Amino acid sequence: MAEEVSVLISEEDVQKRIRELGEQISRDYEGKTVHIIGVLKGACYFMCDLARHITVPVTFDFMSVSSYGDDTKSSGIVKIVKDLDEPLTGKDVLVVEDIIDSGRTLSHLMELLKGRKPATLKLATLLDKPDRRVTEVNVDYTGFEIEDVFVVGFGLDYAQRYRNLPYIGVLHFTD
């Protein structure tokens, strides 16, 4: 099947919203250092662009997780594929994710990170599909709420492709 991508959120709109989020985070974390955890691989574009707009000190770490389950449904049992390099004790931690869908992965991950005793723990996501939520997740910063469509670009993939698109697109299958 052939694939086609139509623009959902333009590069300009994505960048404008990320700048706004960066400014809001800079105000909220005044006097602190934000320890940003990027969830690989999807969050890397959002994480780097967001960090550029944060004016308080920033440190980075990365984590890679996969959820057990079939291809279409995540089970919520998170397997750590790559763990963090540093402990979280006493840090002001901001987890950065590309998209929250069912919420299973993130709710499990946030519980796991809470157990590592950060001073504070917040969550930022570029995209949210609230209609798809199965497990409740407390999201502190949201870029855009979107309908239940399959999106690619700006870090999001279909079979590992399209991550490098500078905009958010909807993936269509054509014959």
List, in order, residues 6 or more apart from 71 with CB less than 8 Å away.
Answer: none
Partner from ligand IMP, Mg ion, none contacting 125, C-beta within 5 to 8 A by type: none
Q: Per-residue x/- mask for ligand IMP, residues 77 to 106, rule CB under 6 A? A: ---------------------xxxxxxxxx
Residue 101 a catalytic site member: yes
**49 counts as binding ligand IMP under rule CB under 6 A:** no
Which residue, 18 or 78, has its beta carbon nearer to Mg ion? 78
Which residue, 29 or 154, has its beta carbon nearer to ligand IMP? 154
List, in order, residues 6 or more apart from 166 with CB less than 8 Å away.
Answer: 11, 14, 153, 154
In angstroms, give the least distance from the CB of 30 to Mg ion. 29
Give the nearest residue (CB) to Mg ion: 42
In angstroms, give the least distance from the CB of 126 to Mg ion. 10
Partner from ligand IMP, Mg ion, none contacting 156, C-beta within 5 to 8 A by type: ligand IMP
Which residue, 22 or 38, has its beta carbon nearer to Mg ion? 38
Under DSSP, the state recorded for 153 is B
CA distances from 59 to 31, 78, 96, 131, 166 (A): 14, 24, 13, 33, 24
**150 counts as binding ligand IMP under rule CB under 6 A:** yes
CA distances from 31 to 25, 117, 121 (A): 12, 20, 16
- Alpha-carbon gap, residue 92 to 29, rounded angstroms: 8
Q: Which residues bind ligand IMP (CB under 6 A)?
A: 42, 74, 98-106, 150-151, 156
Catalytic sites, residue numbers: 101
